[in-house]
């Protein structure tokens, strides 16, 4: 009932762990065996320390963070991917140019089912959402040489243009969206709360933005879309899939419902589908586009 397939990758359910959520070590990733797939922490060519504290701040309707793509570098990180007890591991990579993307992709490729290109972090400048649009096709082509399906993760900014550039390069799927560029200020001191001042906002507050972006991409292109942003319950998954998503990623939802969110939402999805007369989750995909 819940089985889906994207770019030849068969998943027992459409629920994926989003990059950056308890996915830095082999042990932490293995806590998510109930997910259809697990996306790794975004890794680059070299070690990256990230931003100074504070890097996370809980808000009324979501979470603000600016980690700064901290990671140990791909050479060190692949050791965590050896013999990971997870059915589908998707490797998230970033780079400042096509050559860097290609290098990291080749290093991580033997350990993963697909590669997700992070071109959407809202506070990482050129290695994130500011990656030049006209350079996206060449970067995707370079990553494709690693021999695995390529997912391109884009943010809400210029979403159709960036999706088109990803498709131009041969992307196998588009992931939308990442956190939304935002900030918070301590009104007692007048100082920005995050160490980096500006960060990415995730959680329930961004779901309508994510839905809109998935709907627009799915309405304009045939490429599979993976929806991300504000998913905490089965109804959120259904909404994304009705907007055209073939699968979804859950990040902040883990904070609110713990690691059990995947098994619980899978059960809730089956109950919802049965109640509404569907025999497969695939039957709801794109319903809102056809209306």
| E strands in the chain | 4-6, 9-11, 15-17, 37-39, 56-59, 62-65, 89-93, 114-119, 150-154, 173-176, 180-183, 185-186, 191-192, 198-202, 225-228, 247-250
Are the CB atoms for 57 and 87 separated by under 8 Å? no
CA separation for the pair 291, 280 (Å, rounded) = 19
Largest CA distance in the chain: 56
CA distance 137 to 97: 11
- Token readout for 279 is 């025999």
Q: Of 220, 211, 136, whose CA–CA distance to 176 is shortest?
A: 211
Residue with tokens 């290695």: 127
Question: What is the rounded CA–CA span in Å between residue 199 and residue 193?
Answer: 10
CA angle (258, 248, 113) in 5-degree steps: 95
In 3D space, the residue among 95, 121, 256, 117 whose CA is nearest the CA of residue 196 turns out to be 121
Q: Name which of 200, 37, 178 is nearest 118 in CA terms.
A: 178
Establish whether 213 is a catalytic residue.
no
Q: Which of 2, 69, 119, 121 is catalytic?
A: 121
Bridge pairing between strands 89-93 and 114-119: parallel
Please confirm whether the linkage preceding 46 is cis (ω < 30° from 0). no
Which whole-number Å values give the CA distances from 34 to 14, 190, 263, 265, in the listed order?
A: 11, 44, 6, 10
Residue 43 main-chain phi, psi, to 5 deg: -125, 150
Instruction: List the catalytic residues.
Output: 121
């Amino acid at each position: 009932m819940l089985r889906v397939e994207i770019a030849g990758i068969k998943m027992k359910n459409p629920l994926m762990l989003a990059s950056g959520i308890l996915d830095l070590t082999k042990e932490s990733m293995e806590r998510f065996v109930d997910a259809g797939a697990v996306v790794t922490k975004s890794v680059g060519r070299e070690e990256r320390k990230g931003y100074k504290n504070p890097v996370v701040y809980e808000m009324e309707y979501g979470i603000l963070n600016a980690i700064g793509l901290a990671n140990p570098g791909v050479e060190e990180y692949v050791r965590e991917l050896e013999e990971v007890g997870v059915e589908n591991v998707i490797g998230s990579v970033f780079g400042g140019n096509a050559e860097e993307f290609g290098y990291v992709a080749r290093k991580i490729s033997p350990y993963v089912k697909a590669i997700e290109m992070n071109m959407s972090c809202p506070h990482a400048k050129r290695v994130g959402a500011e990656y030049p649009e006209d350079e996206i096709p060449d970067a995707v082509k370079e990553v494709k040489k690693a021999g695995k399906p390529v997912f391109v993760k884009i943010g809400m900014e210029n979403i159709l243009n960036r999706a088109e550039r990803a498709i131009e390069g041969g992307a196998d799927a588009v992931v939308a969206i990442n956190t939304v560029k935002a900030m918070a200020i301590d009104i007692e001191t007048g100082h920005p709360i995050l160490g980096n001042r500006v960060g990415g906002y995730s959680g329930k507050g961004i779901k309508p933005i994510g839905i809109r972006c998935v709907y627009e991409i799915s309405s304009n292109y045939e490429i599979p879309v993976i929806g991300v942003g504000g998913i905490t319950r089965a109804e959120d998954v259904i909404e994304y899939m009705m907007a055209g998503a073939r699968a979804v990623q859950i990040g902040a939802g883990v904070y609110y419902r713990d690691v059990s969110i995947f098994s619980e939402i899978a059960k809730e999805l089956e109950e919802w589908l049965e109640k509404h007369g569907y025999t497969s989750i695939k039957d709801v995909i794109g319903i809102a586009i056809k209306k």
